[in-house]
Amino acid sequence: MTTLRYEQLNVEVFPDRASLGARAGEQAASWLRQRLSQQPQVTIIFAAAPSQNEFLTTLAAASDIDWARVRAFHMDEYLGLPAAAEQRFARYLQSHLFDLVKPGEVHLIPTEGDADEICQGYIAALNAQPLDMVCLGIGENGHLAFNDPPVADFRDPQAMKVVELDEACRQQQVNDGCFAAMDAVPTHALTLTIPTLLSAERLFCMVPGATKRQAVRATLLEPVSTACPATILRQHPGCTLYTDAAAFAGVKHD
């Protein structure tokens, strides 16, 4: 493992995604145990993507975590998919984590109803307790959650909103094997906004694989701007980026 720092962002580079996921999961579990020893409940937002697989496997297997005192949320969800669709992020997190560890509260983003009302209700539930921790990734286009470059706003007045997904974002869903073709990928989604995600004290960001090489390079080296939304992570005092050799290969460093 190589440890680096870009402004306030801690970066750990691993040989492969297995070791990345193991280390990130162990560190997240350790932080969660410590926080649970200090307060009655912990609120966590989770990402749903193949990049999170190894991390979630490690976290789900961690011992001595009182999941009954965890409030679990997820950061985004497609609009227009049937409730039973396998590609829904709620279903991913249920199978990879929630059904395994049984958090005391699980708040899934509804897929039916008025979008504005869904956003208001979800944020009301999220804001019932302070946000402690976010487990996230970075998209191939540099997005955080579904805050793609065309709609990302570092000072977004909304806590959650409806967004149109850009072409690069939709293509990533095909690249990840989640959809067979672009025309099957929904065009719109609900997402927590960047200020909401960054309001957590601690961020664990897992970004493995060669398909994320350009995104990792931009995140670490390009100017902080919504052209690559993930660049804002360099200004968060409590974020660690866990990446692997394949994703980090485009970054030159001393």
Q: What is the pTM of this model?
A: 0.95
Q: Average pLDDT, stretch 195-207?
A: 98
- 213 in any annotated domain: no
* Predicted pLDDT at 220: 98
Residue 135, φ and ψ in degrees, nearest 5: -110, 115
Mean pLDDT lowest among 49-58, 168-177, 230-239: 168-177
More confident residue, 129 or 172: 129
- 176 in any annotated domain: yes
* Predicted pLDDT at 253: 61
Residue 85, φ and ψ in degrees, nearest 5: -60, 135
Give, as one character, the DSSP assignment of residue 7: T
Q: Which of 148, 159, 155 is nearest to 192 (CA)?
A: 159
- 11 in any annotated domain: no
- 17 in any annotated domain: no
Q: Average pLDDT, stretch 132-156?
A: 97
Distance CA 80, CA 91 (A): 15
* Predicted pLDDT at 148: 95
* Predicted pLDDT at 65: 98
Distance CA 67, CA 56 (A): 14
Residue span of the structural domain in which 86 resides: 31-207
* Predicted pLDDT at 160: 98
Which CATH number does the domain housing residue 115 bear?
A: 3.40.50.1360
| Count of domains for the chain | 1
Distance CA 168, CA 174 (A): 10
Residue 27, both tokens: 């560190």
- 161 in any annotated domain: yes
Distance CA 99, CA 118 (A): 23
